Structure 1
Amino acid sequence: MDSLNLDAIAVVTNIYRIAQGLRNKMEREVLSEYGLSWTSFSLLYDLWIGNSIETKKLAESAGVSKSTVSNITNTLERKELCYRKVDNRDRRITYVTITDKGRGIMENLYPRFHKGEVEIVSSLSVDEQKNISALLRKVIKDNHFGFIK
């Protein structure tokens, strides 16, 4: 066996740990109060920003399958936070649109979510935050891990 690249192991392990840690923290401290999972929040956030988005693009943005988007959309529709509409010109395309109720929840929830984001990186200087963000964007882009916003 070739020698292990310990630096690569450390980077990937730490990315995984921080992703799991922040997801758990946000679900526990903010999202659970609204009955939202991380992925359902992610979809609702995209809809809040984009208003109406094709299911395929929602899946790409969240890094999940179209069937996962469909399942989460079902749940969000039951809570009256969004609705689906088939494209009139191409019946194969479905759009998901945020409702006024969904928008209201995001307007209430997001300031608390953002406070959590700030807390998570509060031990880093602004320059360190910019550096880590740029480096992570590079890894995301080089590996085609979804949209770069």
Structure 2
Amino acid sequence: MDADALADAFWGVARQLRSRNKEALAPWELTPSQFRGAAVVARHGPIRLSALAEHLRIAPRSATEVVDDLESRGLVERSPDPGDRRATLVTLTERGRTLVGEIQAARHARSADVFATLDAHDRAELGRLLRKVAGE
């Protein structure tokens, strides 16, 4: 298989995963970027807005908008950084932690559907190959 065919196959799977991800988020009326923001806060929080922007690979202003949206839904809260009064920390609320857990379970189920045609050996081999291509 040549590089173009591999790229087409890769992007086809990526489209399926993106579509399933959007379906998984639909019941919570959360956008993919909002979920990514909440997931980063869950993994790294309490976190400064600047660090959140770096993890999301977006501009700090965009990270502020994501946090504004999450805060308006009661999923995160801001607090002053005790180490630097000029900085703000973002933390998940209890509701946010619950929501992230529920969405991660739904996303896992949708992703598992995409790879259900592969047996355990094939999934392990695909994972190995993708990590190799990613340079890990």
> 1: CA distance between counterparts of 2:51 and 2:5?
32
SS in 2 for 1:80: coil
> 2: CA distance between counterparts of 1:124 and 1:88?
49
> 1: CA distance between counterparts of 2:51 and 2:121?
32
* Residue pair 2:80, 2:89 contacting (<8 A) in 1 also: yes
SS in 1 for 2:18: helix
The corresponding residue for 2:71 is 77
Tell me, which stretches of 5 or more residues in structure 1 are unaligned? Answer: 1-5, 143-149
Aligned match for 2:11, one of 2, 7, 16: 16
The corresponding residue for 2:97 is 103
TM-score by length of 2: 0.79
> 2: CA distance between counterparts of 1:136 and 1:66?
30
* Residue pair 2:16, 2:114 contacting (<8 A) in 1 also: no
What amino acid does structure 1 have at the position aligned with 2:32?
W
Alignment deviations for residues 29-85 of structure 1 (CA, whole Å, 9 cap, x no partner) = x20110111221122122223342233443343343333322211111110101233
The corresponding residue for 2:43 is 49
> 2: CA distance between counterparts of 1:18 and 1:57?
30
Higher relative contact order (CA 8 A, sep 6+): 2
SS in 1 for 2:47: strand
> 2: CA distance between counterparts of 1:91 and 1:139?
43
Aligned match for 2:25, one of 14, 23, 31: 31
Tell me, which stretches of 5 or more residues in structure 2 are unaligned? Answer: none
> 2: CA distance between counterparts of 1:13 and 1:56?
35
Moved over 4 A (4+): none
